[in-house]
């Protein structure tokens, strides 16, 4: 037989495109259109429905960027259409190739009832089946003129304050049309078979069987009467569509989904509407497709529906109760996991799962994070402590260098906890269930011979509205079809239960799931990151001091509502395009404003609690005694962790300052001697106790360096390795002076300018301190550059230790393999440490996350390990003004530091002491722990408002720990809990804790173990 594949395939392409698809909607009549342009921000539905509508017509331009136009469409079904299915086709001016990134609409009836969303592949509203004719039609469309911003180039359209006012869209189609069901079904038959055929090997008989069946179907179709001959064409396809799949065919669990970024190329307020449009589409589709199962994550998005769309919320709750609209994920949002602090990660699960339990009675079992930019090695333990069993991600398929070796595996975290994990081989979380994608999933699946199944999330995301009727039609045809994987539409739990049952002994991946891409997100939008870090610290303090006051001060009321509201605000802004700095200017402008408000409120809570504890009115009239509060988890200057004392004064030898021969200054305090040369660089940081130099020979620490930074594609997201090819050391000096003497410190101020920017640094040494403190203020006006601060250290370190949630992660400093070389930019929280046996050094910070660590062997045979902090970037997309302006940051070098020193100093730089004027009485901590190896992460009152004290702690050094926790109040009982503060079965039996006497608990923790204890207060309160 001659090979005529290309001819038949080209024939099919043209006939589908030009004749069959256009025939789905047949006879049509125009709808009358009215419009009302809402002034400013979106208005409530009732206001939009009651607005004064003016005349409009197809072809009219509408929508300045971020504007809202309400369209009223009215008409009458022609009587000659009796017996037909009729739909309204409402095309707002869609670009068919850009679902989710352009204009969108939400259709309402005249009484305000939500009907469904509109987007490029879902632009219809069913009027009726077998209509009588003469029916009146009246619909209202709330149309959002969201600008197209996925353009990868600088744009001012990303903020309503800078966007132009020109219309962006034109109405393309507003009409009633006859819907030909048989033609629509024929399109689905042809698409499925065509997609399958093109994925089959040319030498396989099945491919040719499908080709000939398609040819016979086209022969049976009268192109002048497609509706009249569609059934005849479909009959020619029945044989190839009924042939069952092979017994060994890959099994796919298809889960309806709509990945909606809670902010990205649109502001938060628009996400509220995207969620409503998608939920409306979903429940509407479920009404006509009983097999449809849809999974939606992010409790915040459910909460938005509840708050803003109560009628839609009732419908969603009904579908949830039916088991078809499935809450997944168990987190408040799909957060970043690299930079979010430990306690904040715990609260993502606490408030997310709490919402699902309270609203639906559902305890979610899976953690659903398809799109975050890498996953912390602390996550498995948190997943299990949240009561979840499974983890799903997709983003690792984006890695540039190394292909991840597994799709179904056990993921082991830093403490040894394992969680059953799936990484869908379809390599997308927005599948449309076409043959190409499903064939890729089956071919790509790496667990062949061990497992047989994978999960495919299908549906348009980011406002695209989730699944469509076309996708569900494909799923029906692919349920059992020869040559294709078997497709079942089902909830995620069905997949995970079956996958684990068949593959209990899946391979193990140990450590972080590092994304070899998007490394710039550790640094972009520094003010957003600083706002988050400061919020996390303030929330810790607010809960600690409020809990202490609630236990100790009669009449003090713990601010439950305020703290929960503030936590949820901070958690929302940890979404994986907000905290990482990859959203538009509008999002980050609002984030800065929100963080400022959050900080003010938390400061008020902290101040009120501390004044209540300190006694007196807290005024500054000089009559009281200054009481110093220590909110850090380690004692300092004699002040216990979580306690307060009258001002303790100095804590070490006085600091001396003198001129340095050759220029500069020398600072010393009996522990360190720091030399700052005439360029204002730290050329020596000598550990007097260990008799050892920290700075590598001939090098200088706190060296600011600037690199060009234009990645190949994703500006705010990426730093590409070639940025290192060019570097400029910032050694030019505008000024260098010794600051006026202070009682407990000496400091040197350094001023520099570079490009259009300038920097002022204060390098200080404090009495009794082992840190070289560096307070930096940068007036940043560079473009497409990255600013680093380098610390070349005289230490042979094979690994760096970087703080992550509830512990730290070790990474090689060498680049023996491509996996190690790919980690040229890494994330650390409050500290990063490098060391050799017996001596090490740390760099701590108050708001920096991006770092790099490199090694070099010197001519003298010694090794220089250089730690660098990534201070600022200046990408131009999606925010062309990223980080322009003034930034203040603090970091410090800690010579001679152990891991424990790094942990302690990292907390201290983020939780400074607070001085309050009061009665002078000491404030004893609510709880104390007698080992610095065990860190108290949170002290709060229980979520159920019963008054119990909840303490979360962890082993911080990476070794086994024994310690005793002692409560500073009468304790009736001690219970280990999960993150939701529910009793944790078996914790005592595993030996994590033992109550040895009233108020004292013996702790025996494994490395990096997290333990949450609920201390019930006795009646003698």
User: Would you state the structure tokens that stand for residue 258, as one six-digit string?
Assistant: 């709509």
DSSP H helices, 75-204, are 181-199
What distance in Å separates the CA atoms of residue 379 and residue 1008, rounded to the nearest whole number? 12
| Cα–Cα separations (whole angstroms), residue 906 to 167, 248, 872 | 51, 54, 20
647 — pLDDT class (breaks 50, 70, 90): confident
- Contacts with 220 (C-beta within 8 Å, 6 or more apart), sequence order: 229, 232, 233, 235, 236
From the list 85, 103, 471, 408, the residue with the least C-alpha distance to 256 is 471
- Contacts with 930 (C-beta within 8 Å, 6 or more apart), sequence order: 963, 964, 966
What distance in Å separates the CA atoms of residue 266 and residue 159, rounded to the nearest whole number? 9
> Where in 927-1009 does DSSP place strands (E)?
927-929, 934-941, 949-955, 961-967, 971-977, 993-997, 1000-1005
Q: What is the mean pLDDT of residues 324-334?
A: 97
User: SS3 for 768?
Assistant: coil
H/E run at residue 229: helix 226-235
What distance in Å separates the CA atoms of residue 493 and residue 499, rounded to the nearest whole number? 10
In angstroms, how far is CA 187 from the centroid of its own chain? 38
Whether pLDDT at 793 is above 90: yes
User: Would you state the structure tokens that stand for residue 718, as one six-digit string?
Assistant: 């990426």
1021 — pLDDT class (breaks 50, 70, 90): very low
DSSP 472-525: HHHHHHTTT-TTS-EEEE--HHHHHHHHHHH-TT--EEES-B--SS-GGGGTSS
The counts of H helices and E strands in the chain are: 19, 53
Whether the CB-CB separation of 626 and 916 falls below 8 Å is answered with yes
CA dihedral 548, 552, 556, 557 (to 10 degrees): 50
Buried/exposed 108-129: b ≥16 CB within 10 Å, e otherwise: beeeeebbbbbbbbbbbbebee
What distance in Å separates the CA atoms of residue 564 and residue 568, rounded to the nearest whole number? 6
What distance in Å separates the CA atoms of residue 522 and residue 626, rounded to the nearest whole number? 39
694 — pLDDT class (breaks 50, 70, 90): very high
What distance in Å separates the CA atoms of residue 409 and residue 739, rounded to the nearest whole number? 58
User: SS3 for 252?
Assistant: strand
What distance in Å separates the CA atoms of residue 382 and residue 1010, rounded to the nearest whole number? 8
DSSP 732-766: --SEEEEPPP-SSEEEEEEEEEETTEEEEEEEEEE
Whether pLDDT at 685 is above 90: yes
849 — pLDDT class (breaks 50, 70, 90): very high
Burial class (CB in 10 A: 0-12, 13-18, 19+), 779: middle
For 122, what's the count of Cα atoms within 13 Å in the CB-facing half-sphere?
31
pLDDT above 70 covers what percent of the chain?
Answer: 98
Per residue in 402-438, pLDDT tens?
999 999 999 999 999 999 999 999 999 999 999 999 9
- Contacts with 904 (C-beta within 8 Å, 6 or more apart), sequence order: 632, 634, 932
Q: Omega of the bond prior to 878 within 30 degrees of 0, cis?
A: yes
Confidence at residue 549, expressed as pLDDT on a 0 to 100 scale: 98
Confidence at residue 617, expressed as pLDDT on a 0 to 100 scale: 57
Q: What is the mean pLDDT of residues 201-216?
A: 97
The count of other CB atoms within 10 Å of the CB of residue 52 is 6
Whether the CB-CB separation of 531 and 592 falls below 8 Å is answered with yes
Strands 251-256 and 453-458: parallel
Q: How many residues does the chain have?
A: 1021
Whether the CB-CB separation of 848 and 534 falls below 8 Å is answered with no
Least-confidence region, from 618-627, 806-815, 898-907 = 618-627
Confidence at residue 623, expressed as pLDDT on a 0 to 100 scale: 62
Per residue in 257-312, pLDDT tens?
999 999 999 999 999 999 999 999 999 999 999 999 999 999 999 999 999 999 99
Whether the CB-CB separation of 586 and 882 falls below 8 Å is answered with no
User: Would you state the structure tokens that stand for residue 416, as one six-digit string?
Assistant: 């040894």
Whether pLDDT at 690 is above 60: yes
Per residue in 209-235, pLDDT tens?
999 999 999 999 999 999 999 999 999
Confidence at residue 88, expressed as pLDDT on a 0 to 100 scale: 98
Whether pLDDT at 113 is above 80: yes
Q: What is the mean pLDDT of residues 986-1012?
A: 88
DSSP state of 724: G
Whether pLDDT at 76 is above 80: yes
What is the maximum span of the chain, computed from C-alpha positions, in angstroms?
105
Q: What is the CA radius of gyration of the chain?
A: 32
Confidence at residue 636, expressed as pLDDT on a 0 to 100 scale: 95
In angstroms, how far is CA 728 from the centroid of its own chain? 33
Q: Which of 96-100, 136-140, 1015-1019 is most confident?
A: 136-140
Confidence at residue 999, expressed as pLDDT on a 0 to 100 scale: 83
Whether the CB-CB separation of 379 and 413 falls below 8 Å is answered with yes
Catalytic residues: 371
Confidence at residue 989, expressed as pLDDT on a 0 to 100 scale: 57
Per residue in 700-752, pLDDT tens?
999 999 999 999 999 999 999 999 999 999 999 999 999 998 889 999 999 99
pLDDT above 90 covers what percent of the chain?
Answer: 95
From the list 721, 723, 720, 684, the residue with the least C-alpha distance to 700 is 684
Q: Which residues does residue 865 pair with via DSSP β-bridges, in sequence order?
A: 793, 855
Confidence at residue 988, expressed as pLDDT on a 0 to 100 scale: 61
Strands 418-422 and 390-392: parallel
Strands 136-144 and 408-412: unpaired
From the list 291, 225, 219, the residue with the least C-alpha distance to 254 is 291
User: Would you state the structure tokens that stand for residue 1002, as one six-digit string?
Assistant: 């013996």
CA dihedral 125, 295, 357, 540 (to 10 degrees): -110
Instruction: Determine the straight-line distance between the first and last CA of the chain, rounded to whole angstroms.
Output: 92
Q: What are phi and psi of 473, to 5 degrees?
A: -65, -40
Confidence at residue 987, expressed as pLDDT on a 0 to 100 scale: 67
From the list 808, 797, 892, the residue with the least C-alpha distance to 840 is 797
H/E run at residue 180: none
1020 — pLDDT class (breaks 50, 70, 90): low
Q: What is the mean pLDDT of residues 114-137?
A: 96
The count of other CB atoms within 10 Å of the CB of residue 405 is 9
- Contacts with 259 (C-beta within 8 Å, 6 or more apart), sequence order: 370, 371, 429, 430, 457, 461, 462
Per residue in 343-366, pLDDT tens?
999 999 999 999 999 999 999 999
Residue with tokens 């061990």: 450
User: Would you state the structure tokens that stand for residue 86, as one six-digit string?
Assistant: 């009729």
Whether the CB-CB separation of 455 and 252 falls below 8 Å is answered with yes
- Contacts with 47 (C-beta within 8 Å, 6 or more apart), sequence order: none
997 — pLDDT class (breaks 50, 70, 90): confident
Query: What's the angle, vertex CA 801, arms to CA 797 and CA 806, rounded to 5?
Result: 165
Per residue in 937-959, pLDDT tens?
999 999 999 999 999 999 999 99
DSSP 330-369: -SSS-B-SSSS-HHHHHHHHHHHHHHHHHHH-----EEE-
Whether the CB-CB separation of 188 and 17 falls below 8 Å is answered with no
618 — pLDDT class (breaks 50, 70, 90): very low
H/E run at residue 730: none
| Cα–Cα separations (whole angstroms), residue 662 to 134, 666, 675, 764 | 97, 11, 11, 20
Order of strands across the sheet with 408-412?
366-368, 390-392, 418-422, 408-412, 508-510
């Amino acid at each position: 037989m001659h090979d005529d594949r290309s001819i038949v395939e080209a024939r099919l392409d043209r006939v589908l495109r030009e004749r069959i698809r256009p025939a789905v909607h047949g006879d049509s009549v125009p709808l009358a259109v009215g419009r009302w342009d809402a002034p400013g921000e979106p208005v409530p539905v009732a206001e939009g429905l009651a607005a004064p509508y003016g005349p409009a017509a197809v072809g009219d331009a509408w929508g300045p960027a971020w504007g809202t136009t309400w369209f009223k469409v009215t008409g009458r079904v022609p009587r000659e259409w009796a017996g037909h299915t009729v739909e309204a086709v409402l095309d707002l001016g869609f670009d068919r190739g850009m679902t989710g990134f352009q204009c969108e609409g939400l259709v309402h009836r005249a009484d305000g009832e939500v009907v469904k969303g509109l987007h490029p592949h879902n632009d219809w509203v069913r009027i009726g089946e077998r209509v009588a004719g003469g029916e009146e039609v009246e619909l209202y469309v709330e149309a959002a003129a969201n600008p197209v911003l996925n353009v990868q180039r600088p744009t001012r359209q990303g903020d309503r304050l800078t966007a132009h006012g020109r219309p962006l869209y034109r109405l393309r189609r507003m009409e009633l049309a006859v819907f030909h069901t048989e033609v629509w079904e024929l399109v689905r038959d042809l698409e499925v078979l065509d997609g399958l055929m093109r994925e089959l090997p040319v030498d396989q008989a099945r491919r040719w069987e499908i080709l000939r069946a398609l040819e016979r179907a086209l022969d049976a179709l009268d192109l002048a009467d497609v509706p009249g001959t569609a059934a005849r064409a479909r009959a020619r396809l029945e044989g190839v569509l009924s042939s069952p799949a092979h017994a060994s065919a890959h099994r796919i669990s298809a889960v309806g989904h709509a990945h909606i970024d809670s902010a990205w190329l649109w502001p938060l307020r628009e996400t509220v509407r995207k969620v409503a449009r998608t939920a409306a589409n979903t429940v509407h589709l479920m009404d006509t497709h009983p097999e449809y199962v849809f999974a939606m994550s992010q409790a915040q998005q459910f909460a938005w529906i509840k708050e803003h769309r109560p009628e839609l919320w009732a419908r969603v709750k009904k579908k949830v109760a039916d088991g078809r609209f499935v809450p997944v994920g168990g987190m408040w949002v799909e957060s970043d996991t690299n930079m979010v602090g430990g306690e904040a990660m715990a609260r993502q699960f606490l408030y997310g799962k709490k919402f699902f339990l309270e609203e639906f009675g559902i305890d979610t079992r899976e953690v659903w994070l398809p799109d975050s930019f890498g996953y912390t090695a602390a996550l498995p333990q948190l997943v299990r402590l949240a009561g979840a069993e499974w983890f799903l991600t997709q983003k690792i398929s984006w890695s540039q260098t190394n292909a991840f070796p597994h799709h179904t595996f056990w993921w082991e975290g830093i403490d040894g906890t394992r969680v059953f994990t799936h990484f869908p081989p379809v390599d997308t979380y927005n599948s449309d269930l076409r043959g190409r994608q499903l064939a890729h999933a089956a071919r790509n699946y790496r667990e062949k011979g061990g497992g047989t199944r994978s999960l495919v999330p299908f549906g348009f995301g980011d406002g695209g509205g989730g699944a469509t009727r076309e996708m569900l039609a494909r799923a029906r045809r692919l349920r059992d079809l020869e040559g294709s994987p078997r497709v079942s539409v089902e909830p995620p739990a069905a997949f995970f239960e079956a996958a684990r049952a068949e593959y209990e002994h899946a391979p193990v991946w140990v450590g972080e799931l590092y994304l070899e891409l998007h490394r710039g997100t550790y640094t972009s939008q520094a003010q957003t990151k600083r706002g988050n870090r400061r919020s996390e610290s303030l929330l810790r303090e607010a809960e600690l001091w409020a809990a202490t006051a609630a236990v100790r001060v009669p009449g003090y009321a713990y601010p439950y509502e305020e703290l929960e509201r503030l936590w949820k605000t901070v958690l929302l802004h940890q979404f994986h395009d907000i905290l990482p700095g990859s959203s538009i200017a509008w999002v980050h402008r609002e984030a800065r404003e929100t963080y400022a408000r959050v900080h003010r409120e938390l400061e008020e809570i902290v101040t009120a609690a501390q004044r209540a504890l300190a006694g007196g009115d807290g005024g500054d009239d000089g009559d009281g005694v200054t009481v110093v509060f220590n909110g850090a988890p380690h004692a300092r200057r004699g002040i216990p962790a979580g306690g307060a004392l009258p001002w303790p004064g100095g804590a070490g030898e006085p600091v001396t300052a003198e001129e340095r021969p050759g220029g500069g200054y020398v600072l010393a305090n009996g522990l360190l001697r720091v030399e700052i040369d005439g360029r204002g660089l730290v050329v020596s940081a000598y550990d007097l106790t260990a008799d050892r130099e920290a700075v590598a020979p001939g090098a200088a620490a706190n060296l600011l360096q600037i690199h060009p930074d234009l990645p190949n594609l994703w500006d705010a997201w990426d730093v590409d390795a070639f940025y290192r090819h060019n570097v400029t050391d910032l050694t030019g000096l505008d000024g260098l002076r010794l600051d006026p003497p202070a009682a407990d410190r000496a400091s040197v101020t350094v001023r520099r300018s570079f490009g259009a920017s300038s920097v002022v640094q204060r390098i200080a040494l404090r009495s009794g301190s082992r840190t070289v403190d560096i307070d930096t203020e940068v007036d940043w006006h560079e473009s497409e550059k990255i600013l680093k601060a380098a610390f070349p250290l005289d230490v042979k370190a094979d690994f760096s230790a970087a703080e992550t949630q509830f512990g730290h992660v070790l990474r090689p400093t060498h680049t023996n393999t491509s996996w190690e070389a790919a980690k040229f930019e890494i994330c650390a929280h409050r500290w990063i440490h490098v060391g050799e046996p017996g001596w090490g050094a740390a760099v701590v910070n108050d708001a920096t996350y991006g770092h790099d660590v490199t090694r070099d062997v010197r001519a003298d045979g010694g090794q220089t390990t250089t730690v660098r902090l990534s201070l600022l970037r200046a990408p131009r997309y999606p925010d062309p003004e990223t980080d322009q302006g003034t930034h203040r940051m603090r970091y410090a070098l800690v010579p001679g530091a152990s891991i424990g020193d790094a942990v302690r100093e990292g907390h201290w730089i983020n939780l400074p002491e607070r001085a309050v004027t009061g009665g002078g009485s000491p404030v004893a901590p609510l709880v104390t722990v007698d080992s610095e190896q065990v860190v108290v992460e949170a002290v709060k009152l229980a979520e159920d408002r019963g008054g119990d004290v909840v303490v979360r702690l962890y082993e911080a050094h990476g070794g086994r720990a024994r310690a005793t926790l002692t409560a500073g109040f009468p304790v009736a009982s001690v219970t280990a809990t999960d993150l939701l503060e529910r009793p944790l079965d078996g914790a005592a039996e595993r030996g994590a804790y033992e109550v040895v006497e009233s108020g004292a608990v013996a702790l025996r923790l494994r490395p990096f173990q997290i333990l949450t204890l609920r201390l019930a207060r006795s009646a003698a309160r």
